[in-house]
Structure 1
Amino acid sequence: FYDELVTAVFPPRCCSARFNLAFLMFLGFTVVYGLRVNLSVAMVAMVNSTDPDPVPQYPWDSKTQGWLLGAFFFGYLCTQIPGGYLAGHYGGKIFLGLGVLGTAVLTLLTPLAAQWGSYWLFGLRALEGFGEGVTYPAMMALWARWAPPLERSRLMTMSGSGGSFGAFVALPLTGFICQMLGWPAVFYLCGERGKHSETDTTCPRLSSRKRFTVICRSLTREHCHGWTVPLLHMALSVPLWAIIITQMCSNWAFYTLLTSLPTYMDVILHFDLQSNGFLSSLPYLGGWMMSTLSGVAADALIERRALSVTTVRKLFTLAGLLLPSAFLVAVIYAGCNHILTVTFLTLSSTTGGFSAAGVFINQIDIAPRYAGFLLGITNTFGTIPGVVAPIVTGYFTEDHTLAGWAKVFWVAAGINASGAAIFTLFGSAKLQSWALTEEERAEAERKRSRSISH
């Protein structure tokens, strides 16, 4: 019956309204990630005292740089849960759009804040994170309503992969702009472009497709969750805590590379600014491609019933955490070999894309009704490494030696591997009882009663 409904009602995937929506989200996340990572490359130019260009430069040591690179995530932490809660109640459209627009406007003020001092720049970056914190929970809330169960993996990985693609585009572009026009131009150009990229993330075709809306929402068991949520049940949910801890572990390595890789390319491998930006972006090209393909592969396995949803999520999470750990260790033993180091870093981020179809969309499996709110919770915890990792990296690399960077990669690899073990043991994709509506709970009781009577 389910397959007949999908075939009869859902339009072809390549031109369907939900895939147009996924593409619009992809573009939105491309913009917000570009705005997020541009400081990572620009920082090299901002503190490079040997650069003869007549642009402002600042005597910030590695500790200060670490705090500034992590400042974004202090604000990002604050709006994840409120954003997920409100997006689950009102819908995600307005929050996704405002998140993009607010971050773009604040980016324009970056050169002024840097001129006023590191504390002002820290505060501005935290405000940018505050505005951008609502975007991912808003995406999850939208897909909880619009994604058919057999297309969740591909639609969500396609949307979210805009982050990796944004990093891939922004890092080399930032290096080029810094070298050609000076680092202040990065923030003026990126901020102005972001203002014009604030996207309406709802497709007009959706409002006229009543059959699609009714059936899609019924198949995903999704309704607005209202003002009350089962907080106690969530706090005691083992599968939810497995997601939280695993995302924290995975994000430690991800944010370490996102914020500190350009510095590593500059200090250890001694690449010029333009090459630095391009080579720092390669891992995100691989991550974008792998996350998109993993979503398609995961849906294919689920649709053909080759594996259970739980097994699929665990398999992709295991591959997406253990393989990057192995390649980070390989980076340590590659030393200053440019080719091997860049290759292993690229492979680490590329294989990390597997987890996009695993733990990072598991919230919609266990509780589609509260998916946006749950993503706010898991992303809040998952953002803590974004705050801590750059600061720890700054302390480890204070003496700018290869041994200090080896500590950075060992810690990231070990934390990643721990996350893989935790999700394998405790993760699940089964719909949780506390996520059911009253009608669904009553229906489940009737089925149980009938099965007992027979």
Structure 2
Amino acid sequence: MLRENLYQKRKNKMAVITELNSTLENSEFSQDMQVDKKHSPRKVNSFCSIRYGIAFIAHLFNFMLAVQNAALTITMVAMVNSTDHQSKVNSSVGLPDGPDKAPVSLPAKAPVYDWSPQTQGILFGSINYGMLLTMVPGGYLAGRMGAKKVSGISLLASSLLTLGIPLAANLGLSFFIATRVVKGLAQGLGLGGHFALWQRWAPPHERSRLGSISLSGIPLGMFMAILLGGIISQAFGWPFVFYTSGGLGCVFSLLWFVLVYDDPDSHPWIGISEKEYILSTLDQQVSSEERSLPIKSILRSLPFWSICLCSFSHQWLINTLATYTPTYISHMFKVNIRDNGLLSSLPFIVAWIVGLLGGQLADFLLSKNFRFVIVRKTVTFLGQLPPSILIVSLPYLNSNYIITITFLTLACGVAPLSQPGVYVNALDIAPRYSSFLLGASRGFAHMSAVLVPIIGGFLLNQDPEFGWRNMFFLLFAINVFGLIFYLIFGKADVQDWAKERKITRL
């Protein structure tokens, strides 16, 4: 009898503890993930804070990788043409006549290759073969080893391989493709791994802003690569584009190792108040124990798949713009490479500005008590549907130069609004596994970077005139499908399989 009474008391006590843990868990992982203001330190919301410094360094990290990735986009115009086009832009918009009036030939020492549009598509996509294989492992390894090591090594390797691109091109097409694939392996580790920073550094209500600051380095890198790539190619030859971007990447990779730390606890210069603020907002989201990934639950999660499919469709838009904007402008207006670089770069500087403002907008809405899921879906919708409509309209503009450039600029400029939406959504649904999920969703989305050049090259090779129209219609269909799937199944609350189950021993 005594044993039964003790057993019953123990059972009742366990039930009370279980109920208490459940109550605490539900409050800790509420949809908006609010922190009890009465017990949390005062918010340190200065742009001079360490976490914003980390975001700025991550911005430069993405900038360097984007420069090295996009360099081929503009240099391809010079690599496949023995003579440069005379620009139609000056006469069409009334720019003053000058040296551009006559065609300016490229430097004699710059090699030229006879590559078909389909071969060019393979070259554009070759870097993405490697990136596709390493983005998911990059996120996982960064969660285990730290983003500092994984991303720093990847940037250094990518920079060294960028320096070797001109030599690889001279050795033959196979060497060129192989070098681009290996470079993609390095970049994939970095792009997938650097997301792990925000698992440890970003308070929930600042994820949109910090993530957008980091990711907006990508359009800025594309802008600089295309703008300066055209100027450098015109003046010194296309190989110097790779020498410059590779050299700068080597220097910055060293700065990365010095300035970046994986979490606030290990940072030597962070203030006590900022450290306490960050840790107090994240202490219920990051498990202190090593836990195995719930792979089956992840694969069955519709919110996770909605992130993957929407990211894939949005990246299809981004990769089409990044890969084919210079080629499309060259095809439509026959501009020389310097003018092509100027016109092709305009959309990406607008995208950089909008990307920074988009994160501010999302966090502003969150501060006004809009639900996380509403904010994520709203900015994703704005960053995906309007650009798709603008792009699909291009074939019907009758080669109007001003309207074409305007539409391209608006489409590319509005697209980064999705950055504080679908791209940071994994931090909402599974903070404990966010480094892996961000790498996985980004890796899935990056399949588009492999498919866009292959399909685009095939369509343009089959029918140069209607190929552009078919490419843009395909883009529109993919974007609408991915967006609708996300709007239906996307969530922003922590999923059951991502919550920590506390075990209490008596």
TM tier, smaller:
over 0.9
Partner of 2:9: none
Q: State the match for 2:282 in structure 1.
A: 217
Amino acid at match of 1:26: H
Assess, with a 3 A threshold, how the Cα gap between structure 1 residues 378 and 224 changes in structure 2: closer, same or farther: farther
Partner residue in 2 for 1:85: 140
**Which residue number in structure 2 is paired with residue 450 of structure 1?**
none
SS at match of 1:268: helix
Q: Partner of 2:493: helix, strand, or coil? A: coil
Q: Given that residues 136 and 375 in structure 1 are in contact (C-alpha distance below 8 angstroms), is that contact kept between their aligned partners in structure 2?
A: no
Question: Deviations along 1:90-126, whole A, 9 cap, x unmatched?
Answer: 2211112112111110001001110111111111111
> Given residue 36 of structure 2, which amino acid in structure 1 is its aligned partner?
Y
> Once the two structures are aligned, what percentage of the paired residues are identical?
36
Match of 1:128 in 2: 183
Aligned with 1:112 (options 167, 180, 189): 167
SS of residue matched to 1:407: helix
Q: 1:308 to 1:346 in 2, by over 3 A?
A: same
Structure 1 contact 39–69 (Cα < 8 Å) conserved: yes
Distance 1:218 1:207, change over 3 A: same
Residue-pair matches, total: 438
Aligned to 1:248: 312
Letter in structure 1 aligned against 2:234? Q
Contact 1:335 1:402 (C-alpha < 8 Å) held by counterparts: no
Q: Which residue, out of 6, 11, 18, partners 2:51? A: 18
Shift of 1:5: 5.6
Native 8 Å contact 1:319 1:355 kept in 2? yes
For 1:428, what is the secondary structure of its paired residue?
Answer: coil
Say what the alpha-carbon RMSD is for the aligned residues: 1.8
- Residue in 2 that maps onto 1:57: 112
In 2, the alpha carbon distance for the partners of 1:63 and 1:319 equals 33
Stretch moving more, 32-41 or 268-277 = 268-277
- The reply to whether residue 350 of structure 1 matches residue 383 of structure 2 is no
* CA deviation map 1:391-434 (0-9, x unaligned): 11111112673422111111112211211111111111110111
What's 1:416 paired with?
Answer: 479
Deviates more, 1:349-358 or 1:64-73: 349-358
Aligned-partner Cα distance in 2 for 1:324–1:210: 40
- 2:208–2:360: 8 Å Cα contact kept in structure 1? yes
The counterpart of 2:336, out of the listed 272, 283, 288, is 272
Q: Which runs of 5+ in 2 are unaligned?
A: 1-34, 85-104, 262-266
Tell me how far apart the structure 1 counterparts of residues 126 and 168 of structure 2 sit (CA, whole Å): 13
Tell me, in whole angstroms, the C-alpha distance in 2 between the residues paired with 1:289 and 1:4: 36
Shift in Å at residue 225 of structure 1?
Answer: 6.6
User: 1:67 corresponds to which residue?
Assistant: 122
Report if aligned partners of 1:225, 1:369 keep a CA contact under 8 Å in 2: no
Tell me the TM-score normalized by structure 2: 0.83
Question: Is 1:152 matched up with 2:207?
Answer: yes
The one-letter code sitting in structure 1 at the alignment partner of 2:222 is A
CA distances 1:43-90 after superposition (whole Å, capped 9, x unpaired) = 111111225532211111111000000001000011111111111122
* 1:42 equivalent in alignment to 2:42: no
Report deviation, 1:367: 0.5
Q: CA deviation at 1:291?
A: 1.7
Distance 1:294 1:359 in 2: 12
Give the deviation of 1:4 after TM superposition: 5.0
- Contact 1:90–1:224 under 8 Å retained in 2: no
Match of 1:421, SS state, is helix
Deviation, structure 1 residue 321: 0.9
Task: Find the structure with the greater CA-based Rg.
Answer: 2
Mapping of residues 332-371 of structure 1, within 5 Å:
332-371=395-434
TM-aligned CA deviation for residue 13 of structure 1? 2.1
Any idea what SS the aligned residue of 1:79 has?
helix
Write the mapping of 1:234-383 to structure 2, written as runs, cut at 5 A: 234-305=298-369, 307-383=370-446
Aligned to 1:394: 457
AA of the residue aligned to 2:290? G
Question: Conserved in 2, the CA contact under 8 Å of 1:40 and 1:258?
Answer: yes
The CA deviation at 1:186 is: 1.0
Give the whole-Å Cα distance in 2 for the aligned partners of 1:78 and 1:282: 32
Q: Is the 8 A contact 1:268 1:402 kept in 2?
A: no
